[in-house]
Amino acid sequence: MNIESLVRENIRALKPYRSARQDYLTGVLLDANENSFGSVVTAENLTLNRYPDPYQREVRTILAAMNDVALENVFIGVGSDEVIDLIVRVFCEPKWDSIVLLEPTYGMYRVAASIQDVDVRSCLLTEDFQINTGEVKRKVDASTKLIFCCSPNNPTGNLLRVEDILALCDLNSIVIVDEAYIDFAKTESLVKMVLDYPNLVVLRTLSKAWGLAGVRFGYCIADPVIISYLMKVKSPYNISALTSRMTLQALSKGVEVRQTVDAIIQEREWLSGELNKLLCVKEVFHSDANFILVRCTDAGALYKLLAGKGIIVRNRSSEPLLENCLRITVGTHRENEMLINTVKEYYE
Ligand SMILES: Cc1ncc(COP(=O)(O)O)c(C=O)c1O
């Protein structure tokens, strides 16, 4: 497959901005109009008055090793939301190209495409929230540059079948597999498949299992050609020195992350069981993520009741296939008990 041919012509021709820190990170640095006198605030062992490494070599090297790929396979964004936005901008010609979404799914794919004036073709998931591959193949044509697959899917919580995702990789489009919640699933990431499928992009984030939503750090693993175009269009210093510092610290804490993930999974199973017992809940869907989708007798009323008590969940009822559905993040045990007790007090 020729990835280059899927890239927008103007992006192929683009001469990227050359930033000062691309060539030199140390020395008598009089090349970037930074403040040579220092910074007004300091952080231990961190240089804040200098622009950070535009190539993010240190963090990318560690992420590459963690994922058993090369540095050239890794791109970092300000959250995976930035990566999503940049992928759309690299491949999709406004007013001309299209993307395919497997809905209901994460809302930012549609927003990123709409900002770029790119057509969104929606393929509904099947009743059991799997990919309708026949339908996707019918909707894809020469203008379809991207197919977004979210696995485990937000807001349904389930994993998509790997064979279905790989079947989409036979199409002449980029297939993005968003694995934001993969750490909560008892299955392997698709990262290794990137080496076999040059049109596969695997998206990861530190916002979920790693507990760093406030830091804003996401990344993708893909073929070096795709990574080189993302590097070309990103703003020169998108990842701050502070973000890199926090990320480097976090990435050394794999054991602690595993413990937290195990605790969240245990709590998810407890919460699922308790939700299942509630009379106002008709169905609790299986979850491979850190949230649970439930179908209620009246999602709007339950949402209002909980919000009135200061317990905020997400009402997904307006999404296709999700009539009367709420999405509930797994909280701490105390928070989950508050939720269950509040519902019981009112309804039972
Ligand atoms: C499926 C999915 N992808 C990406 C994101 C955004 O992640 P980030 O915080 O890395 O931008 C979210 C956030 O909820 C999500 O649910």
Residue 107 has a pLDDT of 97
Average pLDDT score over the chain: 97
Separation of CA 201 and ligand 1 centre (Å)? 15
**For ligand 1, what atom is nearest to the CA of residue 80?**
10
Q: State whether the beta carbon of 315 lies less than 6 angstroms from ligand 1.
A: no
pLDDT higher than 80, residue 320: yes
- Ranges of beta strands (E only) in 248-312 are 281-284, 291-296
Separation of CA 205 and ligand 1 centre (Å)? 7
Q: State whether the beta carbon of 180 lies less than 6 angstroms from ligand 1.
A: yes
User: Could you give the CA distance from residue 272 to residue 290 in angstroms, rounded to a whole number?
Assistant: 11
Give, using CA atoms, the residue closest to atom 7 of ligand 1: 80
pLDDT higher than 90, residue 23: no
Q: Looking at the structure, tell me whether residues 193 and 295 fall in a common domain.
A: no
Residue 348 has a pLDDT of 72
Q: Which of 75, 78, 80 to mutate to test the pocket of ligand 1 (most atoms within 8 A of CB)?
A: 80
Q: Looking at the structure, tell me whether residues 208 and 78 fall in a common domain.
A: yes
Q: Looking at the structure, tell me whether residues 223 and 298 fall in a common domain.
A: no
Residue 48 has a pLDDT of 96
Q: Looking at the structure, tell me whether residues 269 and 310 fall in a common domain.
A: yes
Q: State whether the beta carbon of 148 lies less than 6 angstroms from ligand 1.
A: no
CATH number, domain of 339, equals: 3.90.1150.10
Residue 65 has a pLDDT of 98
Q: Looking at the structure, tell me whether residues 288 and 198 fall in a common domain.
A: no
Q: State whether the beta carbon of 79 lies less than 6 angstroms from ligand 1.
A: yes
Q: State whether the beta carbon of 149 lies less than 6 angstroms from ligand 1.
A: no
Q: Looking at the structure, tell me whether residues 121 and 242 fall in a common domain.
A: yes
Q: Looking at the structure, tell me whether residues 136 and 191 fall in a common domain.
A: yes
Separation of CA 4 and ligand 1 centre (Å)? 27
pLDDT higher than 80, residue 15: yes
**Domain boundary residue, one of 252, 277, 304:** 252
Domains identified in the chain, total number = 2
Model pTM score: 0.97
Q: State whether the beta carbon of 82 lies less than 6 angstroms from ligand 1.
A: no
Which residue range is the domain that position 67 belongs to?
3-252
User: Could you give the CA distance from residue 318 to residue 323 in angstroms, rounded to a whole number?
Assistant: 7
User: Could you give the CA distance from residue 215 to residue 240 in angstroms, rounded to a whole number?
Assistant: 10
- Report, as an integer, the average pLDDT of 103-118: 98
Q: Looking at the structure, tell me whether residues 197 and 273 fall in a common domain.
A: no
Q: Looking at the structure, tell me whether residues 277 and 208 fall in a common domain.
A: no
**Closest to 221 (Cα-Cα) out of 71, 78, 62:** 71
CATH number, domain of 141, equals: 3.40.640.10
**Domain boundary residue, one of 218, 252, 286:** 252
Q: Looking at the structure, tell me whether residues 297 and 233 fall in a common domain.
A: no
Q: Looking at the structure, tell me whether residues 245 and 259 fall in a common domain.
A: no
Q: Looking at the structure, tell me whether residues 221 and 332 fall in a common domain.
A: no
**Domain boundary residue, one of 201, 229, 252:** 252
225 — pLDDT class (breaks 50, 70, 90)? very high
